Amino acid sequence: MALDLYQVDAFTGRVFGGNPAAVCPLDAWLPDATLQAIAAENNLSETAFFVREDDGFALRWFTPTVEVDLCGHATLATAWVVVHCLGDASSLLRFSTRSGVLTVARDGEALVMDFPARPPVPCEPPPGLLAALGLAGGPLQVLEADDYIVVVEDAAVVASLAPDIRALAGLPNRGVAVTAPGGDVDFVSRWFGPNVGVDEDPVTGSAHTALAPYWSARLGKPRLRARQGGRRQGTLECELAGDRVRLRGQAVVYMQGRIRV
């Protein structure tokens, strides 16, 4: 069987930036083991698979090791493929997912995703978290939602992180985001998720469903500009709207091809 496959750099306007995702359109669902094998073969943080439905698309996301409940950059990449590669002229795309119905709207050269907000709550850091991050000292705050969120006060600390990935893999949550106030943006972050097969994700849309509510409350503004990543980075705009977060970003197709399974 031959299938189309796209590789898209999300949350960036140029190739080699942002977060790469694979996108694979399907006529019908393949066995889960086949989907997981394709994702493992792609060896990107996420591979998105979608099937057209009457009122939109069914969408699923796989890391190289597991299926996940929510993924921002692969949703953005999928919408970009639907609009710019498959020629869908709809002003609003609907995706049915494990996190409910998600919509993506056009906004000039960008796309805007509408996701559920997941405000984090303060927590005690689990044993080993701060040591694994190399943050045993200094002012910080720890919160949790789907991920642990560690707030530091200096963007240079975020940039210099060199965590012990094996130690992070033993922690109970999905992953950990480390964030700080930004300079030319409202906040910066990096995200590590070895528990789901992703040592570091350059730009994690789903993490911003928790980061955006935190920074919106702290800075007293509903709209924020964010940058995420270490050596590879991307940018996005976040807008808090009640119990929803709108994430605005661009994407660019790096590769289009065919795979045989």
Q: Which residues contact 175 (CB under 8 A, 6 or more apart)?
A: 146, 147, 148, 168, 191, 192, 193, 194, 195, 196, 198, 201, 204, 207
User: What SS3 string covers 146-166?
Assistant: CCEEEEECCHHHHHCCCCCHH
Residue environment code for 200-210, b if the CB has 16+ CB neighbours within 10 A, otherwise e: bbbbbbbbbbb
67 catalytic residue (yes or no):
no
Q: Among candidates 196, 183, 189, 184, which has minimal Cα distance to 212?
A: 189
Gyration radius from the chain CA atoms: 18
CA 75 – CA 117 distance, rounded (Å): 16
Q: How many CB atoms lie within 10 A of CB 154?
A: 12
Query: What one-letter code names the amino acid at 253?
Result: V
CB 150 within 8 A of CB 135: yes
Pairing type for strands 223-229 and 251-260 reads: unpaired
Among the listed residues 41, 46, 53, 67, the single catalytic one is: 46
CA 148 – CA 104 distance, rounded (Å): 27
Q: Which residues are catalytic?
A: 46
